[in-house]
Structure 1
């Protein structure tokens, strides 16, 4: 008796058992790799969620939870196949683009900056710490420097027991006091040896600067030490009244009242250095247009920014197009070698080239004055107009090879039949250049020119590395200079390079720069459509 035909067919077409094993093995390893990657993602995501929860950043907390849940659902189900490829890109876009833009917008509506960094509670603690003095007649307390979780603290013998705490945690009882002297064992803490404190300058400075609150009430003072083995209670001449929202200075008799601007201000107008972050509405934007000390320097910087962005595109493009036209002619010998030489500046890092040119333009020992002007002392970096011309020259030298390459490619892609027809009709080289070559080249290069304009508008590297935006504008706040463009002015206002920082004002200016560049780019892209008529 024979088996049915269908059964025989099934047996002959079935893959061998080892093929199933190989296929299962491949799928099994792939699943294990995916499981390991998702474990890492979940671990990092949970750390971010916990950190956001502890910081009470509820928006960040909600977004982090949503992204983590979405990742688990997408990569552990078979239905969301397209999202497996889209989710990583969307997540990076949300984190590194949208979030940064929204956070910048948020900061623009606050007074966040020097003296206004944390909360009101932190501002009160800072104000009280600035006026601290040792309590007259206060006993010297046996003390040990302790550490827990990488954070330093003090353990003191007070009222017959050991109390330990850190700068963020007030003293709390942890055990019975020893018979005499400083604590030798502190439950839950590790005692830092005295030799370690003396031998490490950073640790020694951290111990001297450390203040451990006596209790939750900042008016009770804090424990400080000078030698790491004994401490005393220090009280501030300032007294905080939480109900009245005032800080009283017993040394001067002034009373500082908390205001909606995030400051403590006395009746005579004096302000405590420590403030806190609050929302100020559109004040930062209004300040950019109404503050007398800021309007004139920013207007000068804004005007130069537009001139810089336009010339940084127009001059290198014209130079690159000219060189491309010359070396696109087959009659020129050695074109490959010469083209290579012309694009060499494009191979050098921009910041290094800017630093080299900074030395070359030096008035005292620079090679520019020495070799080209017979040793004349020309102050290229100190005169506003000479500095602008010098930095523009450097930028042209750095960027013309890019336009040379772009224009060379555009010229080689031109339809030769159109040029031949124009030549037969009697059009000369200039006529062909004006009526055919240039319009067709602009069609292909216009989007690149627009993007180059946006890049030049925010070209921070050359401006900062060449002259740090100098020379300075007399009377301008935030160390603004004559060669500063808006992006470097934002850097100066943010205080990264030193001095007072005003992140709220810098963020407001960043938003305006973004809007300006976006509007100009949108209008320019619309105008480029007219060039397509030449195709």
Structure 2
């Protein structure tokens, strides 16, 4: 006898599918109004920021950047206002940040590596011409004095003069132009006391007489009378030459990013141009740069390898010792061992730099009884000091990693090997170490890459010194490649961003090759699992 069928409306069938209209209603009811408003507000903020960036890029004629920002903004709006596409909603923010902080940075560095961008070549040609004409100005002999009134506006100081019965206003950015006296209410006239208090600003102010650079500028030394200054250089836009009116020397654009005379002398500043592979060629063919680059590269590899090896073996040794259950106070020793890991690297470098000072450092004065050991000024001792301090900072990390890896190895393996007659050293060398390297090897590779670019410890401890006198670059005995890049780009009067970017690309390629080879070698360890 079969049971009677239940009426269709008596129970709810959990497998019964809802109609499309019911699904839309359920989805709409499950979406809170608050989350929708938050989404709209956040996307609106992103759109507003993007519009500001687009207009800024268009104002600077950076059409590619403006187009990229516009495309990204459209994608954000489509993804977050389109129903569904849930994976894209989570992946999009990370992808955008990856493009901005990784892909763009690497791409822009690569672009700079193929230019002469740096000191004297950090703008375009029009700015270079204007800068040359303004920086070589001299007072026109016999020029009449212009009575001037100084004002302070929203953009800084401004001059007001009267010429041909008309008031003219100008500042550092805008040439003199007619001004309505009523509009001066937005400015504050400087009194005598104000002129004295801002004397340096007043005397350094240069206001162009017109949009024609040849007419020069007006400058004042007392805030009361201004005189005309014109450049000793004259620019011929048709011939694209710059002529020194005093000597008659003609400087031409020879394609090197600066006006150059026949004797090779150049007018600075110049402008940025594409130089192809010249920066890479200089790095490997210029003897003064090649020698320094070679010595720094060798020391960089030695520093990275010795740092990884020393921290790993010390950390492994302590992990084995403190992993012995028979040892008393293991927790206290472990806490003490990881204390250096709590120090920021830059702070640790500064502290050790003081302790290793030749004249009054703790190491010389206390541990060596007042000896004057040049830890930071002798090339070899400085290298030893860098390795020692890096060992002090780095072994706690390896200690923690090795401790966790050792504790994850089954104890039964050691017991079985002991029963088979294996000695403790054989158990460690043939069983524990290979299993340990399975999990630690990738960390050793990442540690090598980190120490390859360990800028903090080098610059905070020795600043790359002591200086190598025979090098054509500002480079020291303890400089590694990344600190060399920093010095070439940011230290000294001549900053060569193009050459520094070329060095950065070289570092990127070296680290990438080492990482690929290392990860391929570690695949052999996976069979141990």
Matched, 1:366 2:361: yes
Which digits, 9 at most, give the CA deviation of each residue in 1:450-491, with x for residues without a partner? 001000000000000001000001032442111000000000
Partner of 2:350, secondary structure, is helix
Q: CA deviation at 1:112?
A: 0.4
Whether contact under 8 Å (1:148, 1:188) holds in the other structure is no
Q: Which moved more, 1:62-71 or 1:76-85?
A: 76-85
Q: Distance in 2 between matches of 1:225 and 1:133?
A: 13
Q: In structure 2, what is the equivalent of residue 521 of structure 1? A: 515
Whether contact under 8 Å (1:222, 1:233) holds in the other structure is yes
Matched, 1:190 2:182: no
Q: In structure 1, what is the equivalent of residue 100 of structure 2? A: 95
Q: Distance in 2 between matches of 1:347 and 1:88?
A: 32
Using a 3 Å threshold, how does the CA distance of structure 1 residues 209 and 486 change in structure 2: closer, same or farther? same
Q: CA deviation at 1:119?
A: 1.0
Q: How many residues align?
A: 509
Matched, 1:154 2:155: no
Partner of 1:499, secondary structure, is coil
Ranges of 4+ aligned residues in structure 1 off by more than 4 Å: 5-10, 23-26, 146-149, 184-189
Matched, 1:82 2:60: no
Which digits, 9 at most, give the CA deviation of each residue in 1:230-280, with x for residues without a partner? 322210111111111111111222111122110111122211121001110
Q: Which moved more, 1:462-471 or 1:25-34?
A: 25-34
Supply the RMSD in Å over aligned alpha carbons: 2.2
Matched, 1:352 2:347: yes
Partner of 1:479, secondary structure, is coil
Whether contact under 8 Å (1:478, 1:500) holds in the other structure is no
Whether contact under 8 Å (2:258, 2:267) holds in the other structure is yes
Q: How does 1:423-442 map to 2 (within 5 A)?
A: 423-442=418-437
Partner of 1:329, secondary structure, is coil
Using a 3 Å threshold, how does the CA distance of structure 1 residues 84 and 135 change in structure 2: closer, same or farther? same
Partner of 1:124, secondary structure, is helix
Q: Distance in 1 between matches of 2:422 and 2:252?
A: 81
Q: Distance in 1 between matches of 2:255 and 2:174?
A: 29
Q: Which moved more, 1:265-274 or 1:480-489?
A: 265-274
Matched, 1:108 2:113: yes
Q: CA deviation at 1:156?
A: 2.1
Partner of 1:170, secondary structure, is coil
Given candidates 238, 261, 267, the residue that maps to 2:262 is: 267
Whether contact under 8 Å (2:464, 2:475) holds in the other structure is yes
Q: In structure 2, what is the equivalent of residue 180 of structure 1? A: none
Q: Distance in 2 between matches of 1:315 and 1:77?
A: 54
Matched, 1:37 2:34: no
Using a 3 Å threshold, how does the CA distance of structure 1 residues 534 and 367 change in structure 2: closer, same or farther? same
Given candidates 383, 392, 400, the residue that maps to 2:387 is: 392
Normalization by structure 2: what TM-score?
A: 0.92
Q: In structure 2, what is the equivalent of residue 143 of structure 1? A: 148
Normalization by structure 1: what TM-score?
A: 0.91
Q: Distance in 2 between matches of 1:83 and 1:38?
A: 15
Q: In structure 2, what is the equivalent of residue 131 of structure 1? A: 136
Using a 3 Å threshold, how does the CA distance of structure 1 residues 122 and 97 change in structure 2: closer, same or farther? same
